[in-house]
C-alpha cells in the first residue's frame, strides 16, 4: 500500500465514532480527530485531537482544516459530518495540491445525494420503488397532503429535503385518533410526533420547502456501500432496535432487491468510496427508498465485523490501491451498548 501515516477523522463527537476508529485501525496509521466541541469523546479514542470551527462558518473551517492538514502532514481526511461534505467536495483539489486526499465524492454527486427530493426523483427515473412524496412550502398545500393520506388511513411524515440527523422530521398524527393520555403515561417523551395544528403553530402559513411523504411502518434498513473503480459491495442491515435515531441492534440481510437498487443509485449518482442508503418496507413488504448518506455511516463498523471493512478499503482505494477480496458472513449481528470515558487528574479510564 502507498505509505499512509496519518488519517484525520472529523466529527469525533459522533455516537458511532468508536466503530469508525476501530475500522480505520486496520490501516496502521495515526488517527487525528477533530470536532467543534472541545469535549468530544473521540479525543480520548484518537491518537491526537484538535478543535475546528463549525462547517457553516465556511472560511474559518476551511482555513483551520487546511492549516491543520499541513501542520500534521495528513494523508487522508475522512469526513463524518453531512454539513461539511459539499464544502470539502468543492475544495478537495486545494487539499490534494498540498498532499492531502479527502474521502468524498465529487460535488455534483454530493449535491444530488444530499437532496432527498432529487434522490427520490432519480430513483423513480430508474424504476426503483419509492413511496408517494411531494414538496410543499405553504401550510395549505401541506394540509391537503396530510388530509389526503389520512382519508386513506395513512400517516404522513415531513422532513427538510436537505436535513440530517432527524432534524425537522415529524410524523403527523390525528389528535382525535390517538390516545395521547395513554402516550403520556406509557411512552417516553418525543418530539417526533405532532398534530397538524401543532405543526401550523410552528411553521406558520409559509416556510422553506418540506418533503412530504407516506409514513412507512415496516422494517427499516441501512445499506453500507463501497464503490470504487474495481469493486462494489452493498450490505443491507436491518435496524431492529433504535434509540434517538441510533441503531442499537441490527442484523445483516442479503436482500437482493435492496442491493440491486443500491447499485443502480450509486452508479446513477456516481458516488464513490463508502456511503449508504436507507430503505423501509411498506405494508406489502416491499423496500422503499428513503434517503442517502454520502459519507461514513455511524454503524458502518458492522460491515467490518462481517468481513467487509469498507471504511478501510475506501481509504485504500483513495490511496490508489486495489480493494482486497472480501468474504461476508451474512449471519453477523450487532448489539450496541453505552460506554463511557472517565477523566480526572489521575488520567483517563475507558469502559
Task: Report the Cα 62 to chain-centroid distance in Å.
Answer: 22
Question: How far from 308 is each of 233, 242, 325, CA to CA, in Å?
Answer: 8, 23, 9
- CATH at 324: 3.30.470.20
CB 301 within 8 A of CB 22: yes
Per-residue confidence (pLDDT) for residue 47, from 0 to 100: 98
* Domain shared by 12 and 103, yes or no: yes
* Domain shared by 68 and 167, yes or no: no
Per-residue confidence (pLDDT) for residue 163, from 0 to 100: 80
- CATH at 201: 3.30.1490
* Domain shared by 96 and 180, yes or no: no
* Domain shared by 92 and 114, yes or no: no
Instruction: Compute mean pLDDT per 10 residues along the chain, 351 residues long, and list them.
Output: 87 95 97 97 97 97 98 98 96 96 98 97 97 96 96 94 84 83 78 90 96 95 96 97 90 98 98 98 95 96 98 97 94 94 94 88
107 burial type by CB count under 10 A (0-12 exposed, 13-18 middle, 19+ buried): middle
Report how far residue 345's alpha carbon sits from residue 88's, in angstroms, rounded to the nearest whole number: 38
Q: For residue 144, what are the domain limits?
A: 133-214
Per-residue confidence (pLDDT) for residue 2, from 0 to 100: 63
- CATH at 40: 3.40.50.20
**What CA dihedral angle connects 265, 267, 272 and 274, to 10 degrees?**
40
Dihedral class, residue 63 (left if φ above 0, else alpha if ψ from -120 to 50, else beta):
alpha
The total domain count for the chain is 3
Report how far residue 220's alpha carbon sits from residue 290's, in angstroms, rounded to the nearest whole number: 10
Per-residue confidence (pLDDT) for residue 94, from 0 to 100: 96
Q: Nearest-CA neighbor of 293 among 117, 115, 171?
A: 115
* Domain shared by 259 and 157, yes or no: no
Furthest C-alpha separation in the chain: 64
Domain boundary among 214, 236, 266: 214
Report how far residue 252's alpha carbon sits from residue 240's, in angstroms, rounded to the nearest whole number: 10
* Domain shared by 271 and 238, yes or no: yes
Amino acid at each position: 500500500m502507498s505509505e499512509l501515516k496519518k488519517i484525520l477523522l472529523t466529527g469525533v463527537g459522533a455516537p458511532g465514532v468508536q466503530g469508525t476508529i476501530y475500522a480505520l485501525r486496520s490501516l496502521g496509521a495515526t488517527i487525528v480527530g477533530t470536532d467543534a466541541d472541545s469535549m468530544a469523546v473521540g479525543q480520548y479514542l484518537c491518537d491526537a485531537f484538535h478543535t475546528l470551527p463549525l462547517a457553516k462558518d465556511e472560511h474559518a473551517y476551511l482555513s483551520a482544516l487546511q492549516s491543520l492538514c499541513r501542520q500534521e502532514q495528513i494523508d487522508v481526511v475522512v469526513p463524518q459530518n453531512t454539513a461539511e461534505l459539499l464544502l470539502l467536495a468543492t475544495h478537495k483539489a486545494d487539499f490534494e495540491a498540498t498532499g492531502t486526499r479527502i474521502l468524498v465524492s465529487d460535488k455534483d454527486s454530493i449535491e444530488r445525494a444530499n437532496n432527498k427530493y432529487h434522490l427520490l426523483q432519480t430513483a423513480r427515473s430508474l424504476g426503483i420503488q419509492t413511496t408517494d412524496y411531494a414538496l410543499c412550502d405553504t401550510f395549505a398545500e401541506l394540509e391537503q397532503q396530510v388530509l389526503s393520506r389520512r382519508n386513506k388511513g395513512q400517516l404522513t411524515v415531513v422532513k427538510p429535503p436537505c436535513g440530517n440527523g432527524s432534524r425537522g422530521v415529524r410524523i403527523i398524527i390525528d389528535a382525535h385518533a390517538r390516545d395521547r393520555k395513554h402516550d403520556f403515561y406509557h411512552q417516553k417523551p418525543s418530539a417526533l410526533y405532532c398534530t397538524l395544528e401543532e405543526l401550523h403553530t410552528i411553521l406558520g402559513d409559509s416556510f422553506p420547502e418540506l418533503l412530504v411523504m407516506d409514513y412507512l411502518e415496516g422494517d427499516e434498513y441501512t445499506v453500507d456501500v463501497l464503490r470504487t473503480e474495481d469493486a462494489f459491495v452493498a450490505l443491507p442491515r436491518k435496524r431492529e432496535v433504535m434509540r434517538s435515531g441510533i441503531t442499537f441492534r441490527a442484523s445483516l440481510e442479503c436482500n437482493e432487491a435492496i442491493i440491486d437498487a443500491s447499485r443502480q443509485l450509486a452508479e446513477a449518482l456516481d458516488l464513490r468510496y463508502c456511503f449508504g442508503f436507507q430503505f423501509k418496507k411498506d405494508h406489502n413488504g416491499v423496500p422503499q427508498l428513503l434517503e442517502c448518506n454520502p459519507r461514513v455511516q455511524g454503524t458502518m463498523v458492522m460491515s467490518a465485523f462481517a468481513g467487509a471493512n469498507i471504511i478501510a478499503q475506501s481509504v485504500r482505494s483513495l490511496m490508489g490501491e486495489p480493494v482486497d477480496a472480501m468474504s461476508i458472513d451474512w449471519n453477523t449481528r450487532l448489539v450496541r451498548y453505552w460506554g463511557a470515558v472517565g477523566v480526572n487528574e489521575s488520567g483517563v479510564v475507558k469502559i
